[in-house]
Amino acid sequence: MNKLGPVITVILAIVAFWYVAAVPMNVQETLTAAERAGVAVTPDNARARSEAGRWSLVFQNLDALGGSWSVDRARLPSPHQVLTEIYNSTWDEEVNGRRGIVNSGSFSNRSLVYHSGVTLGATVLGFLIGAGFGILLAVGIVYSRTMDRSVMPWAIVSQTIPIVALAPMIIVVLYSIGIGGMMPKAVISAYLSFFPVVVGMVKGLRSPDHMQLDLLRTYNASKSQGFWKLRLPASMPYLFTSLKIGIAASLVGAIVGELPVQRGGLGARMLSGSYYGQTEQIWAALFVAAILAALMVAIIGWIEARTLKRMGMAV
Amino acid sequence: MSVIEAKGLNLTFQTNDGPVHALKDVNLTIEKGDFVSFIGPSGCGKTTFLRCVAGLEHPTGGTLSVNGMTPDEARKARAYGYVFQAAGLYPWRTIGRNIALPLEIMGYSKSEQAERVKRVLDLVELTGFEKKFPWQLSGGMQQRASIARALAFDADILLMDEPFGALDEIVRDRLNEEVLKLWNNTGKTIGFVTHSIPEAVYLSTKIVVMSPRPGRITDVIESTLPRERPLDIRDSAEFIAIAHRVRDGLRAGHMDE
Domains and their CATH numbers in chain A: 4-76 (no CATH), 112-310 (1.10.3720.10)
Confidence of residue B1 (pLDDT cuts 50, 70, 90): low
More confident residue, A234 or B167: A234
C-alpha torsion angle, residues B92, B98, B103, B105 (rounded to 10): 40
Min mean pLDDT across A88-92, A102-106, A182-186, B107-111 is at A102-106
Residue A111 phi, psi dihedral angles, 5° rounding:
-100, 150
B66-116 per-position pLDDT tens digit: 988 999 998 988 889 999 998 999 999 999 999 999 999 999 999 999 999
Task: Write the DSSP symbol of residue A208.
Answer: S
Are the beta carbons of A218 and B106 separated by less than 8 Å? no
Closest chain A CA to residue B158: A218
Grouping H, G, I as helix, E, B as strand and the rest as coil, residue B19 is strand
Cβ contact B90–A233 (<8 Å):
yes
Q: Which of B78, B85, B92 sits opposite A220 (nearest CB)?
A: B78
Asked whether B220 and B188 are in contact (CB, 8 A), the reply is: no
User: Min CA distance, B243 vs chain A (Å)?
Assistant: 31
3-state secondary structure of B164: coil
**Contact across the interface for A214 and B101, Cβ inside 8 Å:** no
Residues 6+ apart with CB under 8 A from A53: none
Task: Chain A: give the shortest CA distance to residue B254, in Å.
Answer: 30
Mean pLDDT over A284-301 rounds to 95
**Residue A185's pLDDT band (cuts 50, 70, 90):** very high
Q: How would you label A250-275 residue by residue, b for 16+ Cβ within 10 Å and e otherwise?
A: bbbbbbbbbbbbeeebbbbbbbebee
CA A157 to chain centre: 22
Higher pLDDT, A177 or B2: A177
Name the 3-class secondary structure at A41: coil
Of residues A215, A219, A312, nearest to B88 (C-beta): A215
Residue A207 reports pLDDT greater than 90: yes
State ipTM.
Answer: 0.88
Residue A97 confidence (pLDDT) above 60: yes
Work out the minimum CA distance from A222 to partner chain B, whole angstroms. Answer: 8
Q: Which of A212, A218, A313 sits opposite B92 (nearest CB)?
A: A313
Average pLDDT of the residues of chain A: 91
Residues 211-230 of A with CB under 8 A from B: 211-212, 214-221, 225, 229-230
Rounded (5°) CA angle A259-A130-A122 = 40
Q: What span, in angstroms and rounded, lies between the C-alpha atoms of A191 and A174?
A: 14
- pLDDT exceeding 70 applies to what percent of chain A? 99
CA distance B224 to chain A (A): 33
**Cα separation, A313 vs A237, whole angstroms:** 9
Q: Going from the N-terminus, what domains does chain B have, and what CATH number goes with each?
A: 1-79+156-232 (3.40.50.300), 83-154 (no CATH)
- pLDDT for position B254: 67
In chain A, which among 234-263 make CB contacts under 8 A with chain B? 234, 236
Q: Is A221's CB within 8 Å of B75's CB?
A: no
Which residue, among A210, A215, A236, A315, would best test binding to B if mutated, counting the most B CBs under 10 Å from its CB?
Answer: A215
Chain segment B21-59, per-residue pLDDT in tens: 888 889 999 999 899 999 988 888 899 999 999 999 999
Shortest distance, CA B185 to any CA of chain A (angstroms): 23
Residue B155: pLDDT band with limits 50, 70, 90: confident
